[in-house]
Structure 1
Amino acid sequence: MSADQISIIIVEDEPEFRRRFAQIIDGEPTMRLAGVAANKREAQVLIDREDFDVMLIDLGLPDGTGIDLIRSVSQRKPDVDIMVVTVFGDEQHVVSSIEAGATGYILKDSTPADVISCIRLLRAGGSPVSPVVARSVLRAIRSRMGGAGTSGASAPARSPNAENNPLSARETEILQLLAKGMSFNEIGEILGISPHTVTAHIKKIYRKLAVHSRGEAVYEASQMGLLKT
């Protein structure tokens, strides 16, 4: 390993995203993949064994929460930068991650170039945050300051299939699969429709929710209570 290379570990339970982020790191000469973990237990072994500069971590792990790992690494290895990479950007998770020690927070639909850029920014002392996530942080700050015209508590998400759902049943179904990290082709196979039809539905979803990406669509839908938890 070159002394100039950024050493990275990935903690992600979804195989598709695990492979994607590993490929992004492997394809960047200035970075080195030090290890990959699919759950909290594997991550703990990796953290104890490896020396690394950056941890990319998802919050929803099958055997516990990523928040505990963030807190542990930030306390035991203060020189390590921690970047949350997730589908959801709700206020509670964003603020909890930052309070635990995360120094960056991006959505899983970030492009490979964005992921590489964010890792470099982390090591340069910055705190990269996806725009839709930054919106959550600002909302949380306003809420705590009482600037949102409330008593300081965030409004609870509405239940799925709320009356104000602007999406059709098919669009909601597709969005639910998007939130699980499935590709357009996989969604088409599950629903028995062509990838072209899936794309057409997703364009309508983006337009109705006034968003421009998968991550933003999932975030807005979760805030509106349109997704099953």
Structure 2
Amino acid sequence: MTLPGDERLAQAITVLLVEDDAPTLWRLQDALTQAGFQVTAAATLAEARSALSQKAPRVLLTDLQLPDGHGSALIRETRQRFPDTEIMVISILGDEESVISARSVGATGYLLKDAFPTDIAATVHELVAGHSPISASIARFIVRRTQTQAEPAALPALNTIRLTPREIDILWGIAKGFSYAEIAGHLGLSKQTVPGHIKNIYRKLEVHTRGEAVFEAVQQGLIKL
């Protein structure tokens, strides 16, 4: 049977997928396998290291928070042992330390979990083709950081976004993982008003997801985790 060109290409691409959340692991593994990738799944650092001892993957997709350690250690080890392996982080962690740490040890892509692309297979193809898939808020932070280092005196202060005290409270609830109903209960609001506040927060921060909102707010100094 003759396969389409993309599937023939994908069959030659081996992927080591490291994710401890089972539903997320299954969803990503299914999507990649159906696209023709050869996927090895691991839920811990130990399992990932065992897989790496067998062969070098073309692509490493890894979470950062793992049961037996931090994904940055795996990224560092993979980059040192297999410099040709493409590495992308898929994580809920969007704080400055996590992003900088992952990139400094060798990750070229960084996606927030609640900002997954609709076609993860296409994203892996982009990674292999030499691109750096990055969630929008992460990309903006990297650009700002680079500009600040290059021209510190010429840039305005980053703390220019104005959120109301109520929006700050709601944003803090988002950062802590509370549901809309839980946020409403804590703040004495009706459940119907919370989505409206969140819509305003997203608009002011120029983001589209919870993860991006929290990341942007932390970088702007609006909240501290």
Distance 1:43 1:205 in 2: 38
Distance 1:198 1:60 in 2: 29
Cα distance per residue 1:57-100 (max 9 Å; x no partner): 12222332211111110111122110011223344333332221
Q: Does 1:63 align with 2:60?
A: no
- Structure-to-structure mapping, 1:96-135, within 5 angstroms: 96-135=101-140
8 A contact 1:165–1:226 mirrored in 2:
no
Q: Which residue in 1 is equivalent to 2:86?
A: 81
Counterpart pick for 2:152 among 128, 148, 154: 148
Q: Which residue in 2 is equivalent to 1:48?
A: 53
8 A contact 2:63–2:71 mirrored in 1:
yes
TM-score, structure 2 normalization: 0.73
8 A contact 1:34–1:50 mirrored in 2:
no
8 A contact 1:8–1:53 mirrored in 2:
yes
Q: Unaligned 5+ residue runs, structure 2?
A: 1-6
2:98 match: secondary structure: helix
- Structure-to-structure mapping, 1:182-221, within 5 angstroms: 187=179, 202-221=198-217
User: What's the CA shift for 1:142?
Assistant: 2.5
Using the aligned pairs only, state the percent identity. 36
Q: Which residue in 1 is equivalent to 2:223?
A: 226
Q: Does 1:172 align with 2:172?
A: yes
**Shift in alpha-carbon separation, 1:58–1:4, aligned structure 2, 3 A:** closer
User: What's the CA shift for 1:197?
Assistant: 7.6
Q: Unaligned 5+ residue runs, structure 1?
A: 158-162, 179-186
2:132 match: secondary structure: coil
Distance 1:218 1:19 in 2: 26
**Shift in alpha-carbon separation, 1:17–1:188, aligned structure 2, 3 A:** farther
Distance 1:212 1:3 in 2: 33
Distance 1:53 1:123 in 2: 8
8 A contact 1:9–1:33 mirrored in 2:
yes
Q: Which residue in 2 is equivalent to 1:15?
A: 22
Say which is worse superposed, 119-128 or 3-12, in terms of deviation.
3-12
Distance 1:135 1:111 in 2: 17
8 A contact 2:174–2:214 mirrored in 1:
no
Give the superposed CA RMSD. Answer: 3.6
Q: Which residue in 1 is equivalent to 2:35?
A: 29
**Shift in alpha-carbon separation, 1:111–1:60, aligned structure 2, 3 A:** closer
Aligned length: 208
Q: Which residue in 2 is equivalent to 1:181?
A: none
**Shift in alpha-carbon separation, 1:46–1:188, aligned structure 2, 3 A:** farther
**Shift in alpha-carbon separation, 1:197–1:131, aligned structure 2, 3 A:** same
Distance 1:84 1:36 in 2: 14
Moved over 6 A (4+): 188-198
Higher-Rg structure is: 2
User: What's the CA shift for 1:109?
Assistant: 2.2
User: What's the CA shift for 1:217?
Assistant: 1.1
Say which is worse superposed, 187-196 or 164-173, in terms of deviation.
187-196
Distance 1:169 1:107 in 2: 22
1:101 match: secondary structure: coil
Q: Which residue in 2 is equivalent to 1:160?
A: none
2:139 match: secondary structure: helix
Distance 1:198 1:53 in 2: 44
Distance 1:139 1:100 in 2: 20
Distance 1:168 1:225 in 2: 7
